[in-house]
Chain A
Amino acid sequence: MSRSPALSVKNLRKSIGKKEIIKGLSFELYPGEVFGFLGPNGAGKTTTIRMLVGLIKPTSGSVHIGGKNVQTEFGEAMKDLGCIVENPELYPYLTGWENLEHFARMDSSIPESRLKEVVDLVDMGNRIHDRVSTYSLGMRQRLGIAQALLGHPKLLILDEPTNGLDPAGIREMREFIRFLAEKEKLCVMVSSHLLSEIQLMCDRVAIISKGSIIRIDTVEALLSEQERVVWNAEPLDQAKHLLGKVTKVSEMEGKLITLYDEDQIGNWNRLLVNAGIEVKEMRTKLPALEDLFLELTGGEHID
């Protein structure tokens, strides 16, 4: 990653009144990657995103998009940004095409041919001249992405892009985002409160809780680290004793849970089998977001 970052955030803070709701975020995003921004509702995701796109002024810290400061070089920075903040809210009384025209007029560097390009890109050619008020949520979401792509942005910020979509829509969206990052070399930042979603489309992820980033890492690293193995063994006490000798074991609902360690898992199993313990079930379990949070924050007792 020697290329210049598409987005660079340094020590970003926001206070409302005396309460500090964003407590010094710093991270960098690079072209061609899909970056997940993960956190439960109320963690400060939306506030952070609004600061990134210039809707909210940070109390301190800086945001650079494509190397330009959002605060001091607003116009230049915005040229490299496309975004949907929360829902893709467009003008319902205009047609999709008119909406695109409307936003294209706000940036003189957008040629008229670009409109057709983005419409083809999001594949909504046949409905583009209908009024937006007749669109389904999925259509609006696509139109929202089309308008975000108008100005050939280097950075695309999508806030909860799969919210409200049906499973087929979610899948389509996911593939589309991957396509943008891989083929168009965009840097896409996706916020979500669903780990499964992030896991399927992101390269890296930041986890935010109560206004702070608790972890930034690649998805694989994060998940494998947090992956668990569930053991259903008979007799349970003996199995717990044995496993306790080699790793950390906890008991939950009559089953044992250990960390997942690819290198050791075979050995542990052999240990149990050799001791004459019957292993009825042994499976890996992806942690739910709540578990991850409990894991990441609960132990450290932030606040």
Chain B
Amino acid sequence: MTKLVHNELLKLFRKKRLFVIILIVAALVPLFTYAQYQQAKTTQEKLGNADWRTKLQQEIVDTQNRLSSSRLQDDWRKYLKIRLAQQQYYLDHDINPQAPGAPTFMRVFVENSITLLLPLLVMVAAADLVSSEASGGTIKLLLTRPVKRWKILLSKYIALLLSVSFIVTAVAFLSYTISGVVFGYGGWDMPLLTGFSTKGEELLTDNVHLIPQWQYVLMEFGLVWFVCLVVGTLTFMLSVLLRSTAAVMGIMLAALIAGAILSNMVSSWESAKYLFMVNLALTDYISGMATPIEGMTLGFSLSVLLAWAAGGLIIAFAVFTKRDVY
């Protein structure tokens, strides 16, 4: 099996796909770095010359004053206390929450690219994994070896898993090293809030807690990795079903873009939450952003994505092992 996986990785590698993807990321990161740099500068200007520490101290005092009010609900009080601890930490450690470091950039970058950019990159790597063998005719040589078909497909899938992992790592590495040139490489210990959940219209804060940024980033990349695997698996299935790589890319592209559009307009169409492309923004659950459709939770989205991936994988294997190859 390792030899088969080696074969598949060799082909991926020699087709220069990974190389192209890394180039794309390396070209985009400086772009986003500049954008964020400009944004930070604008924020700085809005604040005027006032020292950010003074402003933060004011926020702390404001929070303390709100806490002293007696008509506060318990969970909200708890949330405020956690926020207070976070703000106090920034002050004590001289961390300006408005001035991003490289880890902050990484975080913002993946949060913004989890629904479209990274899935697209993964799609590029996965789209022709099987279809190119079919359209290039090499599948005939591949399938007349003393190796069972499911093993061949599995080796391709493992190669996909590995290259997806590689892409995510490359994104992490590039976004950190390139943005660090501008923002500096510090800020891993900065505490961030997480654990929000929504129930109906309400934002529930009873599970909110602080985690250091390095853990936050690791968690977000874990989610990004998961999303990329799901998108990769679905692309893989299409690649098995279709001979044309262009068709695979076209369908996947349409689905991903439709997901981005739908996320903005499906709030009243409830059953849309079972579509995989509406559930890609997993990092929003960590940072406590509103979900596109009521009733979506992290657990729900993970399950939906998992179900789609499992379905895709079953179809891919069923079709590939049974199909007549012409």
| B57 on the A face (CB < 8 A) | no
Known A-B contacts A56-B326, A98-B10; A105 and B3 likewise in contact (beta carbons under 8 Å) = yes
| B46 on the A face (CB < 8 A) | no
The reply to whether B146 and A55 form a contact with Cβ atoms under 8 Å apart is no
Chain A positions 50 through 61: 1 when the CB is less than 8 Å from some CB of chain B, otherwise 0 = 100111110000
Residue of A nearest to B2 (CB): A105
Cα A55 to Cα B138 with chains together (Å)? 12
The reply to whether A147 and B141 form a contact with Cβ atoms under 8 Å apart is yes
The reply to whether B148 and A74 form a contact with Cβ atoms under 8 Å apart is yes
Partner of B146, one of A50, A78, A86, A94: A78
Known A-B contacts A78-B146, A81-B144, A107-B146; A57 and B7 likewise in contact (beta carbons under 8 Å) = no
Chain A positions 81 through 102: 1 when the CB is less than 8 Å from some CB of chain B, otherwise 0 = 1010111011111100010001
Residues on the A chain within 8 Å of B10, using CB:
94, 98, 102
Residues on the A chain within 8 Å of B147, using CB:
75, 78, 106-107
Residues on the B chain within 8 Å of A56, using CB:
324-326
Interface residues on A, range: 20 to 34
Determine which residue in A54, A55, A81, A87 has the highest number of CB atoms from chain B within 10 A of its CB, and name it: A55
Known A-B contacts A55-B143, A55-B144, A56-B325; A86 and B137 likewise in contact (beta carbons under 8 Å) = yes
Known A-B contacts A56-B324, A94-B11, A94-B14; A89 and B141 likewise in contact (beta carbons under 8 Å) = yes
Residues on the A chain within 8 Å of B3, using CB:
105-106, 108
Which secondary structure characterizes the binding site on chain A?
Answer: loop
Residue of B nearest to A144 (CB): B141
The reply to whether B138 and A93 form a contact with Cβ atoms under 8 Å apart is no
Chain A positions 127 through 166: 1 when the CB is less than 8 Å from some CB of chain B, otherwise 0 = 0000000000000000000010001000000000000000
Residues on the B chain within 8 Å of A178, using CB:
none
The reply to whether B140 and A75 form a contact with Cβ atoms under 8 Å apart is no
The reply to whether B141 and A90 form a contact with Cβ atoms under 8 Å apart is yes
Cα A79 to Cα B146 with chains together (Å)? 5
Cα A91 to Cα B143 with chains together (Å)? 14
The reply to whether A50 and B326 form a contact with Cβ atoms under 8 Å apart is yes
Residue of B nearest to A157 (CB): B144
Residues on the A chain within 8 Å of B6, using CB:
105
B211 to chain A, nearest CB (A): 45
Residues on the A chain within 8 Å of B4, using CB:
105-106
| B15 on the A face (CB < 8 A) | yes
The reply to whether B326 and A93 form a contact with Cβ atoms under 8 Å apart is no
| A103 on the B face (CB < 8 A) | yes
Known A-B contacts A89-B137, A103-B141; A75 and B146 likewise in contact (beta carbons under 8 Å) = yes
Cα A55 to Cα B4 with chains together (Å)? 19
B166 to chain A, nearest CB (A): 19
Residues on the B chain within 8 Å of A77, using CB:
146
Residues on the B chain within 8 Å of A98, using CB:
10, 14
Residue of B nearest to A105 (CB): B3
Cα A108 to Cα B6 with chains together (Å)? 14
Cα A175 to Cα B287 with chains together (Å)? 72
Known A-B contacts A75-B147, A83-B144; A91 and B138 likewise in contact (beta carbons under 8 Å) = yes
The reply to whether B11 and A91 form a contact with Cβ atoms under 8 Å apart is yes
The reply to whether A89 and B146 form a contact with Cβ atoms under 8 Å apart is no
Partner of A54, one of B7, B11, B144: B144
Residues on the B chain within 8 Å of A94, using CB:
10-11, 14
Cα A74 to Cα B15 with chains together (Å)? 30
Known A-B contacts A87-B137, A89-B137, A105-B3; A53 and B11 likewise in contact (beta carbons under 8 Å) = no
| A76 on the B face (CB < 8 A) | yes
| B212 on the A face (CB < 8 A) | no
The reply to whether B146 and A106 form a contact with Cβ atoms under 8 Å apart is yes
Cα A74 to Cα B141 with chains together (Å)? 14
B185 to chain A, nearest CB (A): 38
Residue of B nearest to A131 (CB): B14
Residues on the B chain within 8 Å of A103, using CB:
141, 145
| B222 on the A face (CB < 8 A) | no
| B250 on the A face (CB < 8 A) | no
The reply to whether B138 and A89 form a contact with Cβ atoms under 8 Å apart is yes
Residues on the B chain within 8 Å of A54, using CB:
143-144
Residues on the B chain within 8 Å of A93, using CB:
11, 14-15
The reply to whether A76 and B146 form a contact with Cβ atoms under 8 Å apart is yes
Chain B positions 141 through 174: 1 when the CB is less than 8 Å from some CB of chain A, otherwise 0 = 1111111100000000000000000000000000
Known A-B contacts A86-B137, A91-B11, A94-B14; A107 and B145 likewise in contact (beta carbons under 8 Å) = yes
A residues 47-74 near B (Cβ < 8 Å) are 50, 53-57, 74
Residues on the A chain within 8 Å of B7, using CB:
102, 105-106
Residue of B nearest to A16 (CB): B324
A86 to chain B, nearest CB (A): 7
Known A-B contacts A57-B324, A89-B136, A105-B3; A75 and B144 likewise in contact (beta carbons under 8 Å) = no
Determine which residue in B141, B144, B145 has the highest number of CB atoms from chain A within 10 A of its CB, and name it: B144
The reply to whether A89 and B326 form a contact with Cβ atoms under 8 Å apart is no
Residues on the A chain within 8 Å of B144, using CB:
53-55, 78, 81, 83, 85
The 10 A-B pairs with the shortest beta carbon distances in the complex, nearest first, are: A89-B137, A78-B146, A105-B3, A55-B325, A106-B145, A56-B324, A75-B146, A85-B140, A79-B146, A53-B144
Query: Mind listing 25 A-B residue pairs with CB under 8 Å?
Result: A54-B143, A55-B143, A55-B326, A56-B324, A56-B326, A74-B146, A74-B148, A76-B146, A79-B146, A81-B144, A87-B137, A91-B136, A93-B11, A93-B14, A93-B15, A94-B14, A98-B10, A98-B14, A102-B7, A103-B145, A105-B4, A106-B145, A106-B146, A107-B145, A151-B146
B binding-site residues for A, Cβ under 8 Å: 3-4, 6-7, 10-11, 14-15, 136-138, 140-148, 322, 324-326
A binding-site residues for B, Cβ under 8 Å: 50, 53-57, 74-79, 81, 83, 85-87, 89-94, 98, 102-103, 105-108, 147, 151
